[in-house]
Structure 1
Amino acid sequence: MQANIKQLNRQDYQLSYSVYGKGTPVVLLHGYGEDSQIWLNQIAHLSAHCLLIVPDLPGSGKSSITAKGLDEWLPNMSIDSLAQSINQLLIAENVSACILLGHSMGGYIGLAFAELYPSKLLGLGLVHSTAFADNNEKKIVRQKSIQFIAENGGSAFFKTSMPNLFGKKFKENQAHIIEQLINQSKNFESSILIGYTRAMMNRPDRSTVLGSANFPILFIAGPEDIAAPLKDVQEQATLPNKSYLTILDGVGHMGMLEAPHEMNLHLTNFIQLV
């Protein structure tokens, strides 16, 4: 389906996004070190079932941060401020309420959005994501990542870390796809990646958002996911009033690529349920 490519211009950033189809508004939020292209396996399928809005987050893909934003917005960037950028996008599109489906950091942004604008959500999907805050051990890892990126750049960081996000079978059989993602990471400025990392490290626990939600929540998890461990997702899936948990066998953190057909099926079913 042909995309309607748009851009939202704000003082701090230019937000690039694509719009497909018609019907219930659904926003796909990519994760850390990714852009909207991570959803390519889902876009063609989902756009037949909804009005699909797929942005690049500020500083990712075709979305840039202005000179003013680099001076003032980026140093204070938070998961909340990224959620506010998505709210600005919905206002620009005259969307009063939507389903948000977020992968990893995109899920963190979805949870922040749910806390800030609960009346604007029809449903929330946490795709390999978690409501838990970073524990002390994870914060130490984030700090080391910040130092490594500052000294060596994002591409060197992802060359080491990206393969760990995939399940064993995918790593063995689809190494070229992982290599493509690593090559794409060269497009990221180190300052942007550091800003994202710091925002993730400083985000609060949002388990209470799950418990108080008056909209359905979808959890998609992988047994081989080291970033959003299955046991954490299973625990969180007991909190919402309306909860749907899907476990993708043999999958790590990247089910959009590792099990695209199953991912498409479960996302479509959730959209139709909502």
Structure 2
Amino acid sequence: MPSIMSADRLKIAYSDEGQGIPVVLLHGYCGDRHYFDEAVPMLSWRFRVIAPDCRGHGESGATEGAYPMERLAQDVVDLLDELKIERAFVFGHSMGGYAALAFAEKHPERLLGFGLLHSTTYPDDEAGKAGREKVAKRVAEEGIKGHIDDLIPKLFAPDHRTTMPEKLAFAREIGYRTSPQGAIGGALGMKDRPDRLHVLKEAQVPVLLLAGEADAVIAPEKRFPANGPHITPLTLAQAGHMGMLEKPLAFAQTIVEFVDRSMEAKDKSRDV
């Protein structure tokens, strides 16, 4: 599996498939690039699809302490620099969406567009912050397994928790491979993330907001926090927080159509 060294000399593993318009897929907390295994073939026949493992997750290295979303965004910048990609579409699932927002805020000139997949611009409230601290403490004391066993079922639509046992098992196995430092760092980094609603409102590129109809993690009132001509809000029917696993075809089609529309609009504006 290819990898690069980040600016702070950490191994970042990634996959790189297809040719054409660059599309970056950022996985969520205690996941890795394999979350997108079913979606990537449906995307890579049209685009160049790059899917890194976040630091502390998958085959990437881990560091101690909190992982600020700005740090995760910089890892993506480092990867794009290494691959000599000037601009890309960046789509982030859950925690990956928080990193995509940080990327959009700090490096807007590197974007063709971006998307929040089962994610939000809002920061944690006080109860949410306390929950992150509790997770970090539990993983430090007990290891990763108990946390993953509790977490994974919550990520799927209620019906799918019994009808998709193989998908839950797949997500659990990925979660078990997350390093304890990665689980702790991700939790503490999400706890401290700021409100980035302004990034969504002020974006100068197309934005996709994809929500799961039955998502038990992102509340309905937090799924579409802004609107505007540059924002495409879509709901994935019969999906929870894991659209790429629960509804991979619809998930991939949504991204294909969004990228196509975005590039068509860009071409038209250039002709005017």
* TM-score, normalisation: structure 1: 0.91
| Equivalent pair of 1:167/1:225 in contact (CA under 8 Å) | yes
Alignment of 1:55-204 (within 5 A): 55-65=52-62, 70=63, 74-204=64-194
Secondary structure of the residue that 1:95 maps to in structure 2? coil
- 1:220 aligns to 2:216 (yes or no): no
Question: Residue 52 of structure 1 aligns with which residue?
Answer: 49
Superposition deviation, residue 149 in structure 1: 1.4
In 1: Cα distance, 2:90 partner to 2:183 partner: 23
Percent identity among equivalent residues?
A: 32
Amino acid of the residue matched to residue 76 of structure 2? I
In 1: Cα distance, 2:40 partner to 2:238 partner: 23
Superposition deviation, residue 176 in structure 1: 2.6
Question: Is the alpha carbon distance of 1:213 and 1:174 closer, same or farther for their aligned partners in structure 2, counting shifts above 3 Å?
Answer: same
Question: Residue 269 of structure 2 aligns with which residue?
Answer: none
Alignment of 1:27-38 (within 5 A): 27-38=24-35
In 2: Cα distance, 1:232 partner to 1:77 partner: 23
Superposition deviation, residue 237 in structure 1: 3.8
In 2: Cα distance, 1:6 partner to 1:223 partner: 35
Cα RMSD after superposing both structures: 1.4
Superposition deviation, residue 76 in structure 1: 4.8
Question: Is the alpha carbon distance of 1:76 and 1:201 closer, same or farther for their aligned partners in structure 2, counting shifts above 3 Å?
Answer: closer
- 1:209 aligns to 2:206 (yes or no): no
Superposition deviation, residue 139 in structure 1: 0.8
In 2: Cα distance, 1:187 partner to 1:45 partner: 26
| Equivalent pair of 1:57/1:82 in contact (CA under 8 Å) | yes
Unaligned runs of 5+ residues in structure 1 are none
Unaligned runs of 5+ residues in structure 2 are 263-272
Question: Residue 6 of structure 1 aligns with which residue?
Answer: 2
Secondary structure of the residue that 2:210 maps to in structure 1? strand
Secondary structure of the residue that 1:57 maps to in structure 2? coil
In 2: Cα distance, 1:141 partner to 1:16 partner: 29
Superposition deviation, residue 58 in structure 1: 1.5
